[in-house]
Amino acid sequence: MMLRKIISSGSYQKRIKLKAFFNVIRKNSSKSTEISYEKRIFSGIQPTGNVHLGNYLGAIQNWIDLQNSGQNVIWSIVDLHAITLPQDPKELEKSIFSMAATLLACGVDPEKSILFQQSTVPLHTELSWILSSITTMAKLSRLPQFKEKSKTIKEIPVALFNYPVLQAADILIYKATHVPVGEDQIQHLQLAQDLSRLFNQKFGDTFPVPQTIINDDAKRIKSLRDPTSKMSKSCPDSKSRLDLIDSPDILLNKIKKSITDFTSQVTYDPDNRPGVANLIKIHSLITGKSFEEICNEAEGIDTGRYKLMLADVIIEKLNPIREKIQQLNAEPQYIEEILRAGAEKASSIAIPNFYDVRQKIGFSNKFKFQMIYF
């Protein structure tokens, strides 16, 4: 009331200036009360299909770099997302352990990172249900992955439709501030951002608005059989990718049969020679050498001999990882302990966050309830 009297008492010009002045004060005051969230990075990977070199260079290596730089990181094996499409239960169970072994073999360190199995922290699904109450079917139906995957399915599971809401819950239950994503996941992260803002507007400041850490698109490598498409787990042709568990003989065979062209010289020309350019890019990402350096080293040899040179580089890089995966797969109790400890650490972050959510939406916290199922 006092502010209104001061503003209305002067001339028109004076009132405009005073109004602008007090608006600045209001803005500065509101900024000072904004919640500051601890920086926390979250990402997940599905336990379906073998991890290939494209996954490693494009995502997992980035996880390792973030971990080793001292960031506060949480990595999840997202088995709940895996069952949005039909899975064989026995194969899924094996795949979860195999994915954990693969991540550890690649360099995920449980002393520096939290690594856990998504379904062992039930609060992901509980928050997902709450978030689904503030989003709309129209918004979810516009997301690209649902459109793409639903084209090939006659009876579409509800879980496939709700997938992005669960993805948002994965992030928000830990109040994660940053999420490493590829370009194909940006729209799903935008949904998490929208739901964070919407929940905060409805119930008060609760979640940070998660920011993207864009995985360097330059690290995305292409299919060995179709260099116009990215290397993919889902491609039916196993020769299109280099799996981390491939033996040296298989890796050599796949590189020898990779698509190139009829020009024998080794040159980097992604527009006109995408197959050769893809091999040079793989070479560069593994060794850190520039495209020019690689082409200079390959001067005077044809693409056939270059493939043999590259195969040696790839085998040298991947064989220790393959051997470590085999070793860890033979130690299921060790993997189980890593995942159990990771779930406990993840739960210790998620539980107080979920109590906050319960309180704000009107669920009673007066009665204590058990939230960890171990």
Active site positions, annotated: 149, 230, 233
Rounded distance between C-alpha atoms, residue 374 and residue 360, angstroms: 28
Please list, residue by residue across 34-46, b when 16 or more beta carbons sit within 10 angstroms of its beta carbon and e when fewer do: eeeeeebbbbbbb
Interstrand relation of 178-181 and 211-214 (parallel, antiparallel or unpaired):
parallel
Integer CA distances (angstroms), 136 to 151, 207, 269, in order: 21, 20, 46
The span from the first CA to the last CA of the chain, in angstroms, equals 57
**Residue 41, beta-bridge partner list:** 73, 178
**Residue 73, beta-bridge partner list:** 41, 113
Rounded distance between C-alpha atoms, residue 66 and residue 60, angstroms: 10
Task: Evaluate whether 118 touches 81 at the Cβ level (below 8 Å).
Answer: yes
Burial class (CB in 10 A: 0-12, 13-18, 19+), 260: buried
* SS3 state of residue 186: helix
The DSSP letter of residue 374 is -
Rounded distance between C-alpha atoms, residue 215 and residue 314, angstroms: 22
Alpha helices in the chain (DSSP H): 2-9, 12-32, 53-55, 61-68, 79-82, 89-106, 123-132, 137-141, 144-150, 158-172, 186-203, 248-256, 274-287, 291-297, 303-329, 332-361
Task: Evaluate whether 318 touches 244 at the Cβ level (below 8 Å).
Answer: yes
Length of the chain: 374
